[in-house]
Structure 1
Amino acid sequence: MRVYQETFGELNGQTVTAYTMVNDHGMEVTSLDYGCIISKLIVPDQHGTKENVVLGFDTVEEYVKHSPYFGAVIGRVAGRISGAEFELDGQVYKLAKNDGEHHLHGGNVGFDKVIWNTEVVEEDHSVSLVFTYLSMDGEEGYPGNVKLKVSYTLTNDNELQLAYEGVSDQKTLLNVTNHTYFNLSGDLKRDILDHELMLKSTQFAELDSELIPTGELLSVNGTSFDFTAGRKIKDGVEAQHPQNLLAGKGYDHPFVLDENQQKEIVLIDEESGRTLVVETDQPGVVLYTGTQLGEDFEIRGVKSRKYLGLCLETQGMPDAIHQPSFPSVIVEKDEVYTATTKWRFRV
């Protein structure tokens, strides 16, 4: 196993570095110290052909100008916070309104838009990139100085382990995820409508017209949101379910996971033979099917369009700070926040 690095570009006078981890089977993961972005993930198909299965760019400029969070770490809080404010212990904290009247994915300069410190760790059977960042008190409106660590570990089992850790010197909010867009066809040969998804989830969060959870959990039973036995993504695109229509004919929804660390999320592309198994310790996953991808840019020579990739954002529930029935995303002073997710690729 090995790691190599190269200069990816420059941003505001700072060098952006790309690190590529390669295991003994030829699986490659390229990540940037800018936003901890996973810019390439190369795995074989059923014929042994190695291709990239995530959406990303080859220049910093494209990420700055066009990226809808491709491959990035999201924080301090993933998803939307309604009204772009929250209250802790009687104090109201006002956040950036970067999604209409709401706060999205950590604000204007969230974790996805800063350069992290990077350490390479090489073990006998794995290699890791360990990113660290100090998010200062008041950054994007959030309280507390937060020391953050994000680790990406590649193993010889064709598994990428994602681990997040944070400690704050004040009571604050933390709900971190990764926003990689997957397309298992390889090198964007097809869209993701024929991808089949299995989710061990019997409930999903109802959204209002601005894609904010209402607090109600709806049963998947008998709907296009029932992935318990597996179903194709296009089912939700063709469905007349009000929640599918609301999300732009597709999905942008938090699902409550019924199990953890038990192959609870499986994505399959039958034509390439590639399978992605996702396991996590988080209570939910946001399924987003790229319904808002614009058509005004290209992704490595392929015109961007709806349904070109899908996200499986393992995390706490969005807007949990305003929904008492959702698991809390409040972190106490000096409490260690942790979250882990594994992506395992098979053919």
Structure 2
Amino acid sequence: MRRAYDKQQLQTVTLHNPRGMEVTVLNFGGIISSIKVPVKGKKIECVLGFDTFEEYVSEAYRNEYPYLGAIIGRNAGRIKFGKAHIDGREVQLSCNLGENQIHGGFVGFDSVFWEVVAQGQGENSSVTLQYFSKDEEEGYPGNVIVRVTYTLTADNRLRIDYHGTTDAPTILNLTQHTYFNLNEGDTDVLNNTLQIKADRYVPLEEGFFTPIGERPSVAGTPLDYRQGQKVYAHTDNSFVREIAPEEVMATITNAEGSLLMDVRTNHPVLHIYAGYYLPELQPPYRKKIGQSKGICFEAQGYADATKHPQFDSVELKPQEEYNYFTEFYFKEINESLQA
């Protein structure tokens, strides 16, 4: 049964900086619908998305829903059988992907209207969104207040700051699900060069695509991006962050060699998905959506972490605060070589 959405609640905010970069954010799902970056005197659209709200809620799009540009919560990734261990007890969450839960359930943070609580102008423009997630929403205990701030800096950095509190032990593990395509042309991302400063990755259980609990070396696998390589089509794994948050964890360079993007975060892992299962869609005046047409850099906590005590915890308790950030730094190649 198709949900009804109240478009009257929709707010669209476009952030600008002095260098001509633009970032458009919807309060629906906290969606990043557009990132335009000046390259060689023209603006390049760097993400997959739509220009209208109606496309984001259309049946054609939601049928094979890829979460384009949205904030994911309460939990990023899959939870096997929808079962989580919270504060010493087993909690049954909603299961929206067969017998598992993915990305927060049937109506996650990606499919609700957020409140625009602050906007900042000037060289570093920003918008802050807030969402109140009620106790037992999608099975999660605790009333949770979440704030997400998008900041566009004067030097072409898009920073995302996450903040959350709860009144009862719960899970909070947020991410941002933008599919990037930095190419000047409308080509897929398999011709992009990707470097990831990670020695270990998180293998997934066949059939469930949830972690088996191990963190082996990337050496000898198609996921060894340490020296940089073309994007492997089946990349859909978390990479373990073992460097300082201010260090660059991943860099992707477009096909033309004219634009790159650095990724920094203080999250425990960076999940990278190269869009192998993206549905075929052709939005008017936008890059085509389809297999390998975009790549996600989902900085987050470990998926299904409560079943694996060796993983960093994704539990949030009262009197604790959830504070994480992710930064996407866009650079023209000629400009970055001179820096």
Normalised by the size of structure 1, how large is the TM-score? 0.89
Aligned counterparts, 1:277-288, within 5 A: 277-288=262-273
The one of 157, 161, 164 aligned to 2:162: 164
SS in 2 for 1:253: strand
| 1:190 to 2:184 alignment | no
Aligned partner of 1:315 in structure 2 is 300
| 1:40 to 2:34 alignment | yes
Farther off after superposition, 65-74 or 173-182: 65-74
Query: How far apart are the structure 1 equivalents of 2:288 and 2:227?
Result: 33
- Is the CA contact (8 Å cut-off) linking 2:18 and 2:123 kept in structure 1? no
Q: Which ranges of structure 1 fall in alignment gaps of 5 or more residues?
A: 1-9, 238-249
Deviations 1:109-146 (A, max 9, x none): 11101101103432543111000111010111100000
Aligned partner of 1:232 in structure 2 is 230
Structure 2 counterpart of 1:299, which letter?
P
Query: How far apart are the structure 1 equivalents of 2:193 and 2:7?
Result: 43
Q: Which ranges of structure 2 fall in alignment gaps of 5 or more residues?
A: 333-339
Farther off after superposition, 256-265 or 164-173: 256-265
Structure 1 counterpart of 2:97, which letter?
D
Query: How far apart are the structure 2 equivalents of 1:129 and 1:87?
Result: 34
SS in 1 for 2:55: helix
The one of 37, 48, 51 aligned to 1:55: 48
Query: How far apart are the structure 1 equivalents of 2:9 and 2:15?
Result: 19
Structure 1 residue 30: deviation in Å?
0.2
The one of 246, 252, 275 aligned to 2:236: 252
Structure 2 counterpart of 1:34, which letter?
F
Aligned partner of 1:64 in structure 2 is 57
SS in 2 for 1:119: strand
Structure 1 residue 185: deviation in Å?
0.5
Distance 1:230 1:146, change over 3 A: same
Query: How far apart are the structure 2 equivalents of 1:110 and 1:69?
Result: 10
Aligned counterparts, 1:252-331, within 5 A: 252-259=236-243, 260-295=245-280, 297-300=281-284, 302-331=287-316
| 1:205 to 2:205 alignment | no
Structure 1 counterpart of 2:264, which letter?
E
Deviations 1:240-269 (A, max 9, x none): xxxxxxxxxx11101102213211111111
- Is the CA contact (8 Å cut-off) linking 1:197 and 1:266 kept in structure 2? yes
Deviations 1:175-220 (A, max 9, x none): 101000000004x611100111111101111111121111111211
Structure 1 counterpart of 2:45, which letter?
N
Identity across aligned pairs (percent)?
Answer: 40
- Is the CA contact (8 Å cut-off) linking 1:204 and 1:256 kept in structure 2? yes
| 1:222 to 2:220 alignment | yes
The one of 94, 100, 110 aligned to 1:96: 94
Deviations 1:81-120 (A, max 9, x none): 1110212234332112111211000111111011011034
Query: How far apart are the structure 2 equivalents of 1:179 and 1:312?
Result: 7
Normalised by the size of structure 2, how large is the TM-score? 0.91
Deviations 1:46-89 (A, max 9, x none): x2221210011122222123141111000001001111021223
Farther off after superposition, 15-24 or 136-145: 15-24
Farther off after superposition, 65-74 or 176-185: 65-74
Distance 1:196 1:14, change over 3 A: same
Query: How far apart are the structure 2 equivalents of 1:116 and 1:272?
Result: 37
- Is the CA contact (8 Å cut-off) linking 2:86 and 2:171 kept in structure 1? no
| 1:153 to 2:151 alignment | yes
Structure 2 counterpart of 1:253, which letter?
N
Aligned partner of 1:5 in structure 2 is none
Query: How far apart are the structure 1 equivalents of 2:50 and 2:121?
Result: 29
SS in 2 for 1:133: strand
- Aligned CA-pair RMSD: 1.5
Structure 2 counterpart of 1:28, which letter?
E
The one of 155, 175, 178 aligned to 1:177: 175
Query: How far apart are the structure 1 equivalents of 2:288 and 2:17?
Result: 31
Distance 1:108 1:44, change over 3 A: same
Structure 1 residue 321: deviation in Å?
1.0
Structure 1 residue 334: deviation in Å?
2.5
Aligned partner of 1:6 in structure 2 is none
Aligned partner of 2:14 in structure 1 is 20
Aligned partner of 2:335 in structure 1 is none
Aligned partner of 1:143 in structure 2 is 141
Aligned partner of 1:114 in structure 2 is 112
Query: How far apart are the structure 1 equivalents of 2:113 and 2:227?
Result: 41
